Amino acid sequence: MPIIRFRTIVVAAVVCVLIAGASTMSMAQAYKGADGCKMCHQFKNKPIVEGHAKTAHAKALQDAAKNPAAIVAVFEANAPIKKEQIKYVLGTGRVYQGYIGADMKTLPAEWNVKEKKWVATSAVDAAKQCIGCHVTGYDAAKATWAEDGVRCEACHGPGMAHASSGDKTKILNPKSLAPDKKAMLCGQCHSKGTDTTKTYAFPVNYKAGEDLSKYFIAANSATAGRNQQYSELKGSKHFANGVVCVTCHEPHGAGTTEPFQLRKPIIDTCLECHAVKDMKTHAPSAPAGSTCATCHMPGARHTFKKPGA
Ligand code: HEC
Ligand code: HEC
Ligand code: HEC
Ligand code: HEC
Ligand code: HEC
Ligand code: HEC
Ligand code: HEC
């Protein structure tokens, strides 16, 4: 009898240890969701929580059934796709908007916001070509994700363990990262290339704070294009001098009304470090209304070259 009881205790203890072990492991990798972060941080970090909710990041992918107003396209009788086909909406519609159908393929037309017209595209497998950069906590093997849009944990890593304890050692504060790792955090999405198996158009299982080069083969395109700011910046004197994305951009859009979450208006941003006295002396040919970006970031390119160089 005592022996049996002892065994029961041992077995129970082993089971407990196993369960505890399994749950700490999964908790370290588990996502809480932005509403869970808000619970505590809306008091101490109100600007962060409120700022982030308004960013394009938070709305980078939206569920059409939950938020039909996310669709900015106009559907006339001859529209190449039907509104009812849309399951997910990609992008807030600043320049264009893309759509995904129930089969997880992109629908064969995108909406050009400025010209208010449809542009035909080829349908691709969005699970491999798109979604990973427009959501938080993407599981490529299952084609499922923790949360729509680029939310807190896309940049801070899975936060369940931190959220259950409030223990600040269990969450990444990117402030502590070296500049190159800080830029990689943004580069996980603001880059063109493939995962290491060349199956996905984004890094698979990369977590904020890690070395992106272990997860991603950069295309390093020499021509202008969308979402390649990290590749462009990497070759610049800025990057070599530790000037990275969050030097100029506020990651949460907190306390700024400038476009693109810039911390300050463009000219003020540049004059923080550059002693260019005034535009007339520096660039006599500058058209009225020019900013430093007019000549040094044509097409919003992030190579920051001298014109002609
Ligand atoms: C139970 C309350 C609670 C929840 C939920 C919570 N946090 Fe925290 N968080 C804290 C506390 C407490 C601190 C420490 C604040 C301090 O020391 O000033 C903190 C600190 C942080 C820090 C700074 C860490 C550092 O080293 O400076 C980050 C980043 C952070 N939290 C992000 C998150 C994210 C992302 C979520 C959602 C996944 C989240 N928090 C959910 C309570 C919480
Ligand atoms: C998980 C992917 C992901 C990560 C990580 C990410 N971004 Fe983005 N970012 C996007 C997507 C997708 C959009 C497009 C949102 C839209 O317009 O719908 C975007 C848009 C932006 C914009 C344009 C915002 C606007 O108002 O039009 C800026 C600026 C930006 N990101 C900067 C950053 C910076 C800086 C970091 C790192 C601190 C970062 N991003 C990290 C995916 C990401
Ligand atoms: C490697 C990450 C990545 C992949 C893969 C990706 N995107 Fe994006 N996407 C971004 C980022 C970052 C932005 C914002 C920066 C930019 O537009 O330069 C963005 C912006 C957008 C926008 C908003 C453009 C605007 O400014 O109005 C749309 C629409 C979009 N993507 C659709 C797609 C579609 C469709 C696919 C798949 C064919 C796709 N994306 C694949 C990262 C990605
Ligand atoms: C696009 C990436 C990105 C997203 C999304 C994001 N953060 Fe951050 N967060 C950062 C970066 C980068 C820093 C460090 C800022 C710096 O270096 O100036 C930071 C810093 C913080 C800090 C520490 C502030 C301090 O002063 O030490 C907290 C707390 C925090 N974030 C909470 C959140 C919460 C909560 C959310 C969601 C509502 C969120 N973040 C969404 C990138 C992000
Ligand atoms: C030295 C300052 C600076 C740095 C560093 C910087 N940016 Fe920018 N970024 C800007 C300015 C200024 C603009 C607006 C350009 C314009 O209006 O032509 C901009 C625009 C953008 C846009 C909108 C692009 C578009 O197509 O309209 C995105 C997205 C972006 N930045 C992301 C990033 C990311 C990601 C990084 C890091 C890899 C980064 N930026 C580094 C200053 C900077
Ligand atoms: C945090 C400081 C900082 C900010 C902000 C900053 N720069 Fe720079 N910039 C530098 C440094 C450091 C260098 C490298 C100087 C060198 O190597 O001689 C540099 C170099 C340059 C160069 C010369 C590049 C070359 O290849 O010779 C240009 C052009 C430039 N920056 C434009 C800008 C513009 C435009 C902005 C605003 C959008 C800006 N910078 C914002 C620090 C900054
Ligand atoms: C009309 C175009 C134009 C505008 C606008 C402009 N620049 Fe320039 N910038 C140039 C040209 C051209 C050069 C190269 C001059 C040379 O090689 O002697 C240059 C060179 C530079 C350099 C490199 C200087 C060096 O000695 O290596 C920096 C830094 C710079 N500009 C910053 C700025 C800042 C900051 C602003 C905004 C206040 C700005 N520029 C606005 C055209 C422009």
Per-domain boundaries in the chain: 173-309
**249 CB within 6 A, ligand 3:** no
pLDDT reported for residue 3: 41
In this prediction, residues 57-64 reach a mean pLDDT of: 98
**18 CB within 6 A, ligand 1:** no
pTM: 0.95
Note the pLDDT tens digit of each residue in 180-239: 999 999 999 999 999 999 999 999 999 999 999 999 999 988 888 889 999 999 999 999
* Gyration radius of the chain over CA positions: 23
Least confident span in 32-46, 82-96, 182-196, 266-280: 266-280
Rounded to the nearest whole angstrom, what is the distance from the C-alpha of residue 253 to the centroid of ligand 4?
A: 10
Q: What is the mean pLDDT of the chain?
A: 91
Q: What angle do CA 176, 181, 185 make, to 5 degrees?
A: 100
The residue nearest atom 42 of ligand 6, judged by CA position, is 273
- pLDDT at 9 > cutoff 70: no
**212 CB within 6 A, ligand 5:** no
In this prediction, residues 70-80 reach a mean pLDDT of: 96
Q: What single letter denotes the amino acid at residue 208?
A: A
Note the pLDDT tens digit of each residue in 284-308: 888 889 999 999 999 999 999 998 8
Note the pLDDT tens digit of each residue in 84-140: 999 999 999 999 999 999 999 999 999 999 999 999 999 999 999 999 999 999 999
- pLDDT at 25 > cutoff 50: no
List, in order, residues 6 or more apart from 252 with CB less than 8 Å away: 47, 48, 51, 52, 55, 261
The residue nearest atom 5 of ligand 3, judged by CA position, is 130
Euclidean distance between CA atoms 257 and 20, whole angstroms: 46
Residue 91, Cα to own-chain centre: how many angstroms?
A: 12
In this prediction, residues 149-173 reach a mean pLDDT of: 97
Residue 26: band (very low, low, confident or very high) from pLDDT cuts 50, 70, 90: low
Long-range contacts of 194-197 (CB under 8 A, 24+ apart): 194/219, 195/140
Euclidean distance between CA atoms 288 and 290, whole angstroms: 6
In this prediction, residues 252-274 reach a mean pLDDT of: 96
Residue 20: band (very low, low, confident or very high) from pLDDT cuts 50, 70, 90: very low
**89 CB within 6 A, ligand 2:** no
- pLDDT at 19 > cutoff 50: no
Which of 155, 184, 244 has most ligand 4 atoms within 8 Å of its beta carbon, as the pocket-test mutant? 155
Rounded to the nearest whole angstrom, what is the distance from the C-alpha of residue 18 to the centroid of ligand 3?
A: 42
Euclidean distance between CA atoms 87 and 61, whole angstroms: 10
Q: Which of 243, 209, 208 is nearest to 229 (CA)?
A: 243
**172 CB within 6 A, ligand 3:** no
Question: Which ligand 3 atom sits nearest the alpha carbon of residue 225?
Answer: 18
The residue nearest atom 37 of ligand 6, judged by CA position, is 270
pLDDT reported for residue 17: 35
